């Protein structure tokens, strides 16, 4: 059996698991893409994009990323750091003076990237109806009051992370975040189906989120919110990205490859190394009430005794991010693999983590030495 044939046999296991999850009702539909050493080796879609309409998932179906959006915001800051336009340990207020209000003068860029800024709570005035009002977002971030002293504890900033990243990009570079992302990262990389702020005419391509049987009332509210077209069109760089598995796997393949893919360089290798190195290790995240291992903008794998979506054999060199109740995106430089799995069935952690881990485990087995 040739090496290619052996790999195809292993990938067949991944295809089987992907299909079986849909057939057994773990989600209505999904997309899965895998790169290995810079080559797309799997690009799968199946199931229903919308149960109510009977609309099937197609190769160009778009999915809500939830927090899998965050690395796009984080790496935008890293590009400015690489260019010497901003420094990790600078206070955010150096570039955005109004941000210093209410005790945030000591919050640094590093704190934002590691979720240690101390203001994890989304301001109550920023209801989904106001997410498209960028002036309101900026004002709310300026007026936010830390719950914890900046830099002292890990407390996941579910939405605030992305808004601060995006306003820093605007203040330092001059371009709004969607334009910066498109012109500096997604456009050059050929990620033409990735948006933070979806154009309204693309709404019919978006897969509908479906609340699965184990979702609680809070989860039901999340599903309803993130099915709204006006939310898809909002600039929420920590949670409202819209993309395909193929596009996001391309992003991670570039990162795994040291910042370059198909002859296009987006980042220098040292930038990727800095972003994905362990910055916070086994600290307890007070917002999530669980251990955390983080780089500067990514969650990292291999936490001892902790089940995560990256697969049972993940290590601290596995980097990525998951989306609430749904997706997992990761890269592993030791395997040379980038994987993105996006289902449209929203689940609680007790069932979402295992389905993602099952896919990740199969992918990791396919490329293990």
Largest CA distance in the chain: 66
Residues 164-182, mean pLDDT to the nearest whole number = 98
The partner residues of 44 in beta bridges, in order of sequence, read 32
User: For the segment 17-61, what is each residue's pLDDT rounded down to a tens digit?
Assistant: 999 999 999 999 999 999 999 999 999 999 999 999 999 999 999
Backbone angles phi, psi at 197, to 5 degrees: 105, 80
Given pLDDT bands bounded at 50, 70 and 90, which one contains residue 292?
very high
Phi-psi category of residue 293: left, alpha or beta, with phi > 0 → left and psi -120 to 50 → alpha: beta
Contact 267, 79 (CB under 8 A): yes
pLDDT of residue 134: 97
Tell me what percent of the residues of the chain surpass a pLDDT of 70. 99
Give the per-residue pLDDT at 364. Answer: 96
- What is the rounded CA–CA span in Å between residue 363 and residue 20? 15
pLDDT at 367: 93
Buried b or exposed e, range 222-234, using 16+ CB within 10 angstroms: bbebbbeeebbbb
Identify the pLDDT of residue 74.
98
Q: pLDDT (tens digit, 9 = 90+) per residue, 88-134?
A: 999 999 999 999 999 999 999 999 999 999 999 999 999 999 999 99
Q: What is the pTM of this model?
A: 0.96
Count the residues in the chain.
369
- pLDDT, tens only, 177-217: 999 999 999 999 999 999 999 999 999 999 999 999 999 99
Instruction: Give residue 2's pLDDT band: very low, low, confident or very high (50, 70, 90).
Output: low
Beta-bridge partners for 43: 33
Mean pLDDT computed over 240-258: 98
By the 8 A CB rule, do 321 and 298 touch? yes
Residue 211 phi, psi dihedral angles, 5° rounding? -75, 125
Considering only 129-143, 181-195, 301-315, 319-333, which range has the smallest mean pLDDT? 301-315
* Domains of the chain, each with CATH number or no CATH: 3-68+191-367 (3.40.710.10), 74-177 (no CATH)
pLDDT 10s digits, 314-325: 999 999 999 999
**Any idea what DSSP says for residue 123?**
P
Extract the tokens encoding 14.
């991944």
Q: In this model, does residue 240 exceed pLDDT 60?
A: yes
**In this predicted structure, what is the pLDDT of residue 1?**
55
Q: What is the pLDDT of residue 306?
A: 80
**For the chain, where are the alpha helices, taking DSSP H only?**
3-23, 70-82, 109-114, 134-143, 160-173, 177-181, 187-189, 217-226, 229-232, 245-256, 269-276, 349-367
- Class of residue 275 by CB neighbours under 10 A (exposed 0-12, middle 13-18, buried 19+): buried
| Average of per-residue pLDDT across 260-285 | 96
Given a cut of 70, whether residue 3 has pLDDT beyond it is no
Encoded tokens for 135: 């002036």
Q: Which pLDDT value is given to residue 94?
A: 98
Distance of CA 6 to CAs 1, 2, 108, 335, Å? 6, 6, 49, 16
**Cα separation, 178 vs 232, whole angstroms:** 13
Higher pLDDT, 9 or 322: 322
Burial of 45 (0-12, 13-18, 19+ CB in 10 A): buried
3-state secondary structure at position 115: coil
pLDDT of residue 307: 74
pLDDT digits (tens, 9 = 90+) for 61-74: 999 999 999 999 99
CA neighbor of 312 nearest in space, from 328, 320, 323, 301: 301
7: confidence class by pLDDT, cuts 50, 70, 90 = confident
At 312 the pLDDT is 93
Burial (0-12, 13-18, 19+ Cβ within 10 Å), 342:
buried
């Amino acid at each position: 059996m040739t090496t290619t044939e052996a790999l195809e046999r292993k990938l067949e296991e991944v295809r089987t698991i992907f299909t079986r999850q849909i057939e057994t009702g773990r989600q209505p539909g999904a997309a899965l893409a895998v790169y290995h050493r810079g080559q797309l080796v799997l690009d799968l879609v199946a199931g229903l994009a919308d149960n109510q309409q009977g609309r099937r998932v197609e190769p160009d179906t778009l999915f809500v990323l939830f927090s899998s959006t965050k690395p796009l915001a984080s790496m935008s800051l890293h590009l400015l750091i690489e260019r010497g336009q901003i420094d990790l340990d600078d206070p955010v207020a150096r570039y955005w003076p109004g941000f210093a209000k209410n005790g945030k003068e000591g919050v640094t860029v590093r704190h934002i990237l590691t979720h240690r800024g101390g203001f994890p709570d989304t301001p109550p005035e920023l209801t989904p109806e106001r997410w498209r009002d960028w002036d309101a977002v900026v004002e709310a971030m300026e007026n936010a009051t830390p719950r914890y002293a900046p830099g002292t504890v890990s407390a996941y900033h579910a939405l605030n992370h992305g808004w601060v990243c995006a306003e820093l990009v605007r203040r330092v570079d001059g371009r709004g975040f969607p334009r910066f992302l498109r012109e500096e990262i997604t456009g050059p990389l050929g990620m033409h189906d990735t948006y933070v702020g979806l154009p309204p005419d693309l709404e019919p391509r978006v897969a509908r989120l479906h609340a699965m049987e184990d979702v609680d009332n809070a989860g039901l509210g999340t599903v309803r919110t993130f099915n709204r077209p006006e939310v898809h069109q909002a600039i929420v760089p920590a949670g409202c990205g819209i993309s395909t598995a193929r596009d996001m796997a391309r992003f991670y393949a570039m990162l795994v490859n040291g910042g370059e893919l198909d002859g296009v360089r987006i980042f220098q290798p040292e930038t990727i190394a800095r972003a994905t190195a362990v910055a916070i290790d086994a600290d307890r995240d007070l917002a999530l009430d669980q251990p955390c291992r983080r780089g500067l903008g990514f969650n990292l794998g291999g936490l001892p005794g902790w089940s995560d979506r990256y697969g049972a054999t993940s290590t601290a060199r596995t980097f990525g991010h998951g989306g609430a109740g749904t997706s997992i995106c990761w890269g592993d430089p030791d395997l040379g693999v980038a994987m993105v799995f996006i289902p449209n069935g929203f689940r609680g952690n007790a069932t979402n983590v295992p389905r993602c881990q099952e896919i990740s485990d199969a992918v990791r087995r396919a490329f293990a030495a």
